[in-house]
Structure 1
C-alpha cells in the first residue's frame, strides 16, 4: 500500500516524521508531494497511490479519475469543502476529516483577533476591553467550545447558537443558548463565526442579520469566506461606521474593504487558523492513524461522504 502526502503548503517536518512513523509501522510506503505549483504534478503523483493526506489542496473529479488505486482521502483539518464528495463517492473513495485537531489553534486565533479589534488594531488610540462584552458563538462545535473556554478567562458573557446542538449541551458549559440566530446577533457585541460552508449557510451572513448587532459590533470570521455575503457586508459597513470586520479568510473584495474601511477591517494574508506547530502535528498524525485504521480494519469513524 502506498500513502501520499500532497500538500502545496507542507506540514512541519516533525509532523511528516510522525506521519511516516505511523504509516511505515503499518508496513505501508509513504511518498511526498510538497510545494507543488501545477495541478498536473498532483495528477501524476496520485496515479498509483492507495491513500492521500491533504490540507487545503483541491481534490476534484479530475484527481479521482487519475487515481485508479485510491481508497481513501483524509483532510488533515476540520473543513473538507476542498474535496468533491460526490466524485469521491462515485469513485468508491472514502473521505475523512480530522475533527478537533485544529480546534484550539483556531479558537486562540479568534480571541487574538478580538483583542486586536477592540484595541483598534494597535494604532495607538484608546480602545476597549473584552471583559464584560457579550460574545456570540455561531455554531457550537469543537472550535466554538474552545472559544467559549478561552473567552471565560477574559470575563466575557458568552452566548451560542447551533441549530444542531441541543440547548442543554450548550448550557452545561456555562454558556447561554440563544433560541435563534437572530437572537444571537441582536444580543452580541462580538460574534465569532464557526459555521461550515453549505448550501444553507453560503452568503447567509447578510445585511439584515448583521444590522441586528449592537453599536460598536465586531464580526470575527475564522470559518469560511463563502458564508459571508460580501456585497451586503460592504453596504452594512458603509451604513454603519461603528462596525468592524476581522477575518482569517481574505474576501474576494479585499481591496475594496481595505480602501473603504481602514481602521475597521483586517484580513490575514492567508488562512492561519490551523497554522501552529501543535495543530500541524496533531492533524497530520491523526490523518495517518485514520488511514491505517481504514486500510487495516475498515474503520470509517470520521467518514464525511456517503
Structure 2
C-alpha cells in the first residue's frame, strides 16, 4: 500500500485534510499526517517511508530528500515552489509539482483589499482616493493576474498587462491591454500589481529605475515574493517621492525602517496570507492529492516543475 504523507508546519484546515483523506484512501493508499512539527528531525523521520509527499510552505531540502528513500513525488500545495530543492529532486529522481490556479482568486482579492485599505488612508477618517478611472498594471499575466484583471474591471479601472511569455491575444480577449515592455507598464500605470516568480532573472528586478517611472500617486502591490524587490532602492524611492505607496503580502527586510519613516504609506500583512482562505486551502490540498493519484495511476506529469 502506497503511503502519502502530508507534512505541514502550518496545517491545512480540517475540511481540507478530510477531503485529501477521501481522495487518497479511495485510491487505495494510506494517508499519514505530520502537522505543526517543530524540528527538521521530525520531518526527516516522517518521510522515511513515504512514496508521496504533500507540503505547503515547508522546505523540501536535499537532506529531506536523502531521508525519503522511497519518495517518488512531492507536491507543493500552491503556485510558488521555491521551497522545493528542484536540483535535489532531479538527482533523486523525484517528480516535483505545484498546484497552479488553486489559490489565484484568494490572492487577487487580497490585492484589492490592500489597495482599498491603502488609498483610503488605512480607514483613519482622512480623505483618500478611488480606484475607478485609475490605471492598473498587471506585471505577469498568469492565473492570479487574470483574476486581478477581472476584479479591476468591476471597479472601472483601466487595465494593462505585461508578460513576455503570454500572447497579446490572450490578454486582449480578457479586456486587458498588453504593453510591449516592462518600462511601458510602469510609466503608464498608477497601480502596479506584481505576480512574477523569484528567480535569477527577476530577483531585485523591481528597482529604482522602474519605480521612478510610475505616475503621480503611485502604488506598488506585491503578493509575489520579497526577493523580486530591490529593497534599498525601494526605500530611496519612498524617500524621494512622498506620493509613493508600497503594499505587500511579504514584509521586506527593511520593514521597520519603512514603518518608522512612512507610517501612512505602507501596509504589510503579518505573514504571507494570499492563499489564507478556506476555499484556497481546500482547493490546493485536493488538487495535490488528485495529482498524486493521477501520477501513480497514469504517469500524468501535467504540473511537473522539474525536468
The answer, yes or no, to whether TM exceeds 0.5 is yes
Tell me the secondary structure at the aligned position of residue 97 of structure 2.
Answer: strand
Matches within 5 A, 1:268-287: 268-287=269-288
Q: Does 1:14 align with 2:15?
A: yes
Structure 2 unpaired stretches of 5+: none
1:262 aligns with 2:259: no
Distance 1:254 1:62 in 2: 32
The correspondence of residues 227-306 of structure 1 with structure 2, limited to 5 A, is 227-306=228-307
254-263 or 73-82, which deviates more: 254-263
The equivalent of 2:95 in structure 1 is 94
Counting matched residue pairs gives 306
Alignment map for 1:215-230 (pairs within 5 Å): 215-230=216-231
Aligned pairs (5 A) from 1:87-236: 87-236=88-237
RMSD between aligned alpha carbons?
A: 0.6
Instruction: Say whether 1:65 aligns with 2:57.
Output: no
1:46 aligned onto 2:63: no
Q: Per the alignment, in what secondary structure is the counterpart of residue 43 of structure 2?
A: helix
Q: Per-residue deviation at 1:305?
A: 0.2
The DSSP-based 3-state class of the residue aligned with 2:210 is helix
1:121: how far off?
Answer: 1.3
Match of 1:25 in 2: 26
Q: Which runs of 4+ in 1 moved over 4 A?
A: none
TM-score (norm 2): 0.99
Q: Which moved more, 1:279-288 or 1:34-43?
A: 34-43
3-state DSSP class of the match of 1:6? strand
Match of 2:79 in 1: 78
Counterpart-to-counterpart distance in 1, 2:267 and 2:99: 28
What is the alpha-carbon distance in structure 2 between the residues aligned to residue 103 and residue 254 of structure 1? 26
Q: Secondary structure at the match of 2:54?
A: strand
**Cα distance in 1 for residues equivalent to 2:293 and 2:147:** 28
Shift of 1:255: 1.0
Secondary structure, counterpart of 1:47 in structure 2: helix
Which deviates further from its counterpart, 291-300 or 91-100?
A: 291-300
Stretches of structure 1 that go unaligned for 5 or more consecutive residues are none
- State the shift of 1:89 in Å: 0.5
Deviation at 1:118, TM superposition (A): 1.1
Query: Residue 83 of structure 1 aligns to a residue in which SS?
Result: coil
Q: CA deviation at 1:297?
A: 1.4
For residue 102 of structure 1, report the CA deviation from its aligned partner: 0.4
Q: Separation in 1 of the partners of 2:122 and 2:160?
A: 25
In structure 2, C-alpha distance between the alignment counterparts of 1:282 and 1:206, rounded to whole Å = 34
Q: How big is each residue's C-alpha offset from its partner over 1:135-170, in whole Å with a ceiling of 9 and x where there is no partner?
A: 000000000000000110000000000010011111
**Alpha-carbon distance between aligned partners in 2 of 1:230 and 1:41, rounded to the nearest angstrom:** 35
